[in-house]
Chains A and B, each alone.
Chain A
Amino acid sequence: MYQYSAQDKQFLVERVDQFEKQLKRHLSGELDEAKFRSLRLRNGLYMELHAHMLRVAIPYGTLSSEQLRALADVADKYDRGFGHFTTRQNIQFNWIQLPEIANLLRDLIDAGLHAIQTSGKATRNITADPLSGLTEGEIEDARPYCELIRRWFNLHPEFSWLPGKFKIAINGAKLDETALRIHDLGLRLVRNEKGELGFRVFVGGGLGAAAMVGAETAAFVPVVDILSYLESSLRIYNLKGRRDHQKKLRIKFLVRELGANEFSRLVDEDWQQTKNDPELKLNLNELESLKKDFALPIEPINLDRFKETVNFNYSIWKKNNVRIHKVSGYSIVNISLTKLGSAPGDATSEQMRILATLADQFSSGEIRTTKRQTIVFPYVRMDQVFDLWKSLEEYDLSSPHQGTLAQIVACPGRDYCDLAKAVSIPIATRVQERFNDMNKLLDIGDLNINISGCENSCAHHHIADIGLLGMQKNGEEYYQITLAGETLRETNIGKKLGPSVSGETIVDAVEDIVNVYIDNRQQEEKFTDVFKRIGITPFKEKVYG
């Protein structure tokens, strides 16, 4: 597995030292709140309703068991014994005391973890497919590219004070698990007709109040030229992005105002001046060395004679949680942290340690995090999946929710977030209670329900089969429903169903929608396919009829 060098760790030490000085100046009144806010966000630190929240980066969603243990230690020592895995594959701690922050960050350095640029108006953690390297048909593992690009924009002198935050996702797989076209900038690894590797570039996607799908600004940027292309894109944004209007800071508004063609023309004009600069070429030696670091730690094995154990609960869990690996003899195992009533994505320090131990035992010590806030074991031998399941059962981690509608994505909502208009987690709980029959869940199959407590859309409700958005109406909590959002095969923003529905009846509405789907489904048809075939009217009639 890829690990930070001594030099990288030294950089992390220096960064924490610097932040500690800034914190001291702030606490002694020498650095005002506005400036300190800007600085602390760049170090992952938020002010929340009740305490400080720290977001630690999990670059491209890959963690070692050692790193997971370090996170568990932080949860115990500085938080209340749990962490929260986010939809951008990171982890958040919700109960951090300000004066302890520097020591917390120092504790993470040994494991090569940090919180740099997990927030603030700069390039954020770069996300990749959590199944990078594991699935058939992938062009290439995106993670070495993520790492090189992450480095380049780490405290980049020119692009650290952008108009708004800047999120980049890179996908090399067939299916787009990264949802790259709802990112500020999305890169898709492609080959051109000569077989050379490069990126297709999409700019200006994003959710929030004005949800937009990113527009293509370049059909093919050769791998070696990607840094200069990204610099030009960020430069145009830095200079021309809206800074005057709090709600128009993201690049999607600039792209919309200029038009995607004009934006990409400006980027191209700038890029022509820099693309031949040898300093801006991607370092191909470093790329090769990273490819080795990220290479799969397993070889194909022949398990033709292996016989799977017969066990009813196991087979249900397996159907939902286990996927085919491209390396023969291996499986990809998904572990759901969902429990009735707890926030989706929450994990206790004890669970983290158990997962770390099990990862050492069953998955070459590697763990992935996903945007559905689940945990993936990427390298489980097929003949050990049953043993892994038994261990998970023992620790109450064998929820078969993954791949069913009970695997709900919800933001913290009004329970924890001061921007919220409505609750999210209690709605998730009520939906789970309504659909608590495993046979029914299995019959319904994979269906995404995502719930955001306000328009900031932290739970990505626009790209779910069923999206719920919390709002206030006459002082009461209501939910706007969107249907048939998707990103896996193509990118579509969910369509509004109609007037928002009260918190009281929202679970009935969800059930109605699921029933329309079931009643109209032909064979294994997916929700989005049914929606495309029958249109929105049957859903409307059922919910509002």
Chain B
Amino acid sequence: MDEIKNPINLINKEYKTINLVTFEEWLEDSDKLSKLGIGVILDPSNDVGLIKESLDSIELIVLDFRNFDDGRGYSQAYFLSKRWKFKGEIVGINAHLDQLQFMIRSGITSYQLLESYKGFNEEDYSSGFSICYQAAANNSGLNLKY
């Protein structure tokens, strides 16, 4: 079985520990939280539009990909990255090896794989294609053909 993680903090790219609050906690108290350099962790069911106005005061956003067939996180990533140009990191957690290419191209900037994928070559799955057929949030330097 996959070991699902529910992190309360994350280390960002600058090796700083960022504390996380849930989407609900953020909505309840965003005025106070926005001064603390905090990250928000979203569930796929959360309406990402509700934090659109406060993106500037969020340090980092965590999207949860635990359910393999639940594709809502990819649209959440798209809104944050391409549509609203969120400046912080967009971290995909509980990620699946076989979905890295989709996550990255949807705008995820870093990810944490589920434990069960330790030891596999991530490169094989995060890229592996020489071409893509659509413009997306991140075209990963691939040749575009459409």
Question: Do chains A and B stick together as partners?
Answer: yes
Residues of A within 8 A of B (CB): 7-8, 10-11, 14-15, 17-18, 21-22, 25, 31, 34-35, 38-39, 121, 148, 151-163, 227, 235, 238-239, 243, 273-274, 279-280, 283, 286
- B109-124: contact bitstring with A at CB < 8 Å (1 yes, 0 no)? 0000000000010001
Closest Cβ neighbor of A238 among chain B residues: B75
CB distance from A244 to the nearest CB of B (A): 10
Contact sample, A vs B, 29 pairs, CB 8 Å cutoff? A7-B131, A8-B131, A18-B125, A18-B128, A21-B124, A35-B68, A35-B98, A38-B69, A121-B69, A151-B134, A153-B133, A153-B134, A157-B103, A157-B104, A157-B134, A158-B75, A158-B102, A159-B71, A160-B74, A161-B68, A161-B71, A161-B74, A163-B71, A235-B78, A238-B71, A243-B69, A279-B135, A280-B135, A286-B146
The answer to whether B134 and A17 have CB atoms under 8 Å apart is no
Contact of A157 among B72, B98, B102, B143 (CB under 8 A): B102
User: B8 at the A/B interface (Cβ < 8 Å)?
Assistant: no
Q: Are the C-beta atoms of B133 and A158 separated by less than 8 Å?
A: no
Q: Which residues of A contact B74 (CB under 8 A)?
A: 157-161, 238
Count of CB-CB pairs between chains A and B under 8 Å: 103
B36 located at the interface, meaning its Cβ lies under 8 Å from any Cβ of chain A in the complex:
no
Contact B83 A273 (CB under 8 A): yes
Please name 12 further chain A to chain B contacts, defined as beta carbons within 8 Å, in addition to the given A153-B134, A280-B135, sorted by A numbering: A7-B145, A10-B131, A35-B68, A38-B68, A151-B146, A152-B134, A155-B132, A159-B71, A160-B71, A239-B75, A243-B72, A283-B146
A157 touches B146 (CB 8 A): no
Given A154-B133, A155-B133, A239 and B72 contact (CB-CB distance below 8 Å): yes
Whether B102 pairs with A161 at a CB distance below 8 angstroms is yes
Cα A239 to Cα B103 in complex, Å, equals 16
Are B134 and A243 in touch, CB under 8 angstroms? no
Interface membership of B24, Cβ < 8 A = no
A39, B98: Cβ atoms under 8 Å? yes
Q: Is B106 an interface residue (CB 8 A)?
A: yes
- One digit per residue, 1 when the CB lies within 8 angstroms of any chain A CB and 0 when it does not, for chain B 80-113 equals 0001000000000000101101111110000000
Q: Which residue of B lies closest to A39 (CB)?
A: B98
B71 & A235 in contact (Cβ 8 Å cutoff): no
B contact residues around A35 at 8 Å (CB): 68, 96, 98
